[in-house]
Amino acid sequence: MLRASGLRKTYVTPAGDVHALRSFDHAFEPGKVTAVLGPSGSGKSPLLNLLAGFDVPSAGEVWLGDVAINRLPERERSGLRLRSFGFVFQSFNLVTVFSALQNVALPLGLAGVPRAERDERARETLERVGLLHRADHLPHKLSGGERQRVALARALANDPAVVFADEPTGSLDSANGALVLSALEQVALDGRTVVLVTHDVALAGRAHSRLRLLDGRLDSVDHGGATVPEAGLQDAALTGPAPTADRAVPLTSR
């Protein structure tokens, strides 16, 4: 389980301290999609950077199982990100001169997986998102929705425990956005933790839980329609119903 405890992030500037995140506590459950919402400046990006180990908190801890991520040296955090985390971004971040297959195989190569094995695993992962037939296509030959599904396949290539999706539907139309979210729902059904940062309230409504940030604080948690105020967070039960995938991409567990 990915868990944040007493998380704070303060940036020291000439104009004074900026409190980007204040006393954030939450456990992100495996098998669930958790959407993080809030206006610009609410703390979404600092939270994501801390959870993923790109940054270290001013106070508090980030745990993945029994490992305190923030206590690890940068090199070990980088290795943990490669092994345990997958990332999907709004801008896709695909290598333009690589085919879909090569983009998916890229993190496997960084992890030292032999060529034949990484190509096989990349093909399996592309098949899981319904794009094996596009394996040899360059990104500019793919639609926006296809590029995001390639990015999702790349995020899944190393079989991560946690998938972070930062505005993954922000560059897509509503139909492709719903398709990508359905794929993320299926990723969660595989037993992974999915953390979704989004401004799209409609898409966030399909998540199992919604966290709302305001001025660096956890303002509320919504489990399946019941909003839990901050004061009651520690005793809140995570019992929200699973969302319904309208256009699910079949992702069969390996």
pLDDT band at residue 59, thresholds of 50, 70 and 90? very high
Return the CATH number at 178.
3.40.50.300
In-domain check, residue 9? no
* pLDDT value of position 89: 86
d(CA 140, CA 184): 23
In-domain check, residue 12? no
Q: How far is CA 48 from the centre of its chain?
A: 8
* pLDDT value of position 254: 36
* pLDDT value of position 5: 95
d(CA 22, CA 7): 7
In-domain check, residue 92? yes
Q: What are phi and psi of 73, to 5 degrees?
A: -60, 160
Report whether pLDDT(253) > 60. no
In-domain check, residue 65? no
Q: Is 145 helix (H, G, I), strand (E, B) or coil?
A: helix
Q: What is the pLDDT of residues 193-249, one digit of tens each?
A: 999 998 888 788 889 999 999 999 999 888 865 444 443 333 333 223 333 333 333
Report whether pLDDT(85) > 80. yes
In-domain check, residue 220? yes
Q: What is the pLDDT of residues 120-178, one digit of tens each?
A: 999 999 998 889 999 999 999 999 889 988 999 999 988 899 999 998 888 888 888 88
Q: Which of 12-16, 62-66, 88-92, 120-124 has the lowest mean pLDDT?
A: 88-92
Q: What is the pLDDT of residues 162-180, one digit of tens each?
A: 999 998 888 888 888 888 8
| pLDDT mean across residues, the chain | 84
d(CA 27, CA 63): 9
- Nearest Cα neighbor of 101 from 55, 56, 134, 78 is 134
In-domain check, residue 1? no
d(CA 165, CA 21): 19
Report whether pLDDT(91) > 50. yes
In-domain check, residue 122? yes
* pLDDT value of position 11: 92
Range of the domain at 220: 28-58+71-235
Total structural domains in the chain? 1
Global pTM value: 0.82
In-domain check, residue 228? yes
d(CA 60, CA 9): 9
* pLDDT value of position 231: 37
Q: Is 220 helix (H, G, I), strand (E, B) or coil?
A: strand
